[in-house]
């Protein structure tokens, strides 16, 4: 830990009080001049720090940056997020995370960036992550599963994001199968799971999560009437570090549950927060469209559709997209 991080931790530990220069000198074994230079560096990074004679220094406000110094100290997690790799800009956090996984990084390692220039979603779609507004990060996992079971973790991540969003007042987030999180019918988060595997086992799994946090309506306008952000939904700016910490904590809790009890309890949680479960839906493939009732998912995360002739058909996430049926009553469940 460098001097800047140590001073920041000391200031945070006493916030909103002061920390004397003498105390900082003793803790870091450095001169007052060195402390002053470090404080000035923190100010240039966006930290508001007050200096008062005979009182010392105190932290007034922190910038909304995704540096681990801003979210690691308050993270309540057993595994996920305890190790972090931060880059100000990158093409894709998933690519960085996969390279770290190949090198054997610890399970739960998080790769996070301020700006992602070539992010991607399902079916090769692009995912934009503008600086200071979006939240893009990836998590490295080493689950002992076969490749067919990887979709379980996309669903686990989606439930974690929903639970994190619902910590914010007035946010009723829901999952859209297989990998999106919606608020009021508009997309606020996308999830992309990528793996390296052998024939019968996954070597490592990377969960990429992109969240629209502080984008304005004007910034979202090029996407049409399809996307929203936590800022738009709440009516005010939202702390990205707070959202990140909440998602990581929920991921850690659900991953611990999966390790202890398997997919069954997560499947139940997923059904409770999923759009159109039990409702008429349209499943669109490359060359054909099916309509039926969204009846269930299997243990591999595949969608089970009940057709009009009472037969069922199973769909995998890489094949199709899902929409509500024009015949749907608009309710979440059929009675």
Tokens read off for 11: 């200031």
Sequence-separated (6 or more) residues with CB below 8 Å from residue 287: none
Alpha carbon distance 46, 41 (integer Å): 9
In the three-class reduction of DSSP (H, G, I as helix; E, B as strand; rest coil), residue 97 is classed as helix
The response to whether 187 counts as a known ligand-binding position is yes
The response to whether 113 counts as a known ligand-binding position is no
Q: In this structure, how many other beta carbons lie within 10 angstroms of the beta carbon of residue 67?
A: 18
Per DSSP, what are the bridge partners of residue 322?
283
The response to whether 332 counts as a known ligand-binding position is no
Alpha carbon distance 8, 13 (integer Å): 9
The response to whether 116 counts as a known ligand-binding position is yes
The response to whether 163 counts as a known ligand-binding position is no
Alpha carbon distance 145, 152 (integer Å): 10
Instruction: Concatenate the DSSP letters of all residues of 6-51 into one string.
Output: HHHHHHHHHTTS-B-HHHHHHHHT--HHHHHHHHHHHHHTT-EEEE
The response to whether 121 counts as a known ligand-binding position is yes
Size (the chain), residues? 335
Contact 178, 151 (CB under 8 A): yes
Handedness of CA 229, 231, 235, 238 (dihedral sign): positive
Alpha carbon distance 159, 177 (integer Å): 11
The response to whether 12 counts as a known ligand-binding position is no
Residue 184, CA distances (Å) to 170, 187, 212, 227, 324 in order: 11, 8, 14, 10, 14
The response to whether 93 counts as a known ligand-binding position is yes
Alpha carbon distance 93, 80 (integer Å): 16
Contact 111, 97 (CB under 8 A): yes
Binding-site residue ranges: 92-94, 116, 120-122, 187
Specify binding-site residues for biotin.
92-94, 116, 120-122, 187
């Amino acid at each position: 830990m460098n001097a800047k991080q140590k001073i920041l931790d000391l200031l945070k530990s006493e916030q909103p009080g002061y920390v004397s220069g003498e105390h900082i000198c003793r803790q870091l074994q450095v001169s007052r001049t060195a402390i002053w230079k470090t404080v000035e560096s923190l100010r240039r990074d966006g930290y508001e720090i007050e200096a008062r004679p005979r009182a010392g220094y105190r932290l007034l406000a922190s910038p909304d940056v995704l540096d681990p110094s801003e979210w690691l100290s308050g993270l309540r997690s057993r595994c996920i997020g305890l190790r972090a790799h931060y880059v100000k800009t990158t093409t894709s956090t998933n690519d960085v995370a996969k390279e770290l996984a190949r090198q054997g990084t610890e399970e739960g390692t998080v790769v996070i960036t301020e700006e992602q220039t070539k992010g991607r979603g399902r079916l090769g779609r692009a995912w934009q992550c503008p600086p200071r507004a979006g939240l893009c990060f990836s998590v490295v996992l080493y689950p002992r599963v076969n490749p067919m079971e990887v979709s379980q973790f996309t669903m686990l991540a989606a439930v974690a994001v929903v639970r994190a969003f619902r910590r914010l007042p007035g946010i009723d987030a829901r999952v859209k199968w297989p990998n999106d999180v919606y608020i009021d019918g508009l997309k606020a988060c996308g999830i992309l799971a990528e793996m390296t595997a052998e024939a019968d086992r996954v070597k490592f799994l990377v969960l990429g999560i992109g969240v629209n946090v502080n984008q304005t309506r004007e910034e979202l306008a090029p996407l049409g009437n399809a996307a929203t952000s936590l800022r738009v939904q709440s009516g005010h700016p939202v702390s990205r570090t707070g959202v990140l910490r909440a998602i990581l904590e929920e991921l850690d809790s659900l991953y611990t549950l999966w390790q202890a009890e398997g997919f069954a309890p997560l499947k139940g949680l997923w059904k409770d927060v999923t759009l159109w479960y039990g409702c008429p839906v349209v499943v669109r493939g490359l060359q054909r469209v099916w309509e039926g009732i969204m009846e269930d998912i299997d243990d591999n995360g595949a969608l089970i559709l009940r057709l009009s002739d009472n037969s069922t058909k199973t769909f995998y996430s890489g094949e199709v997209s899902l929409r509500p049926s024009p015949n749907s009553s608009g309710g979440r469940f059929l009675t």
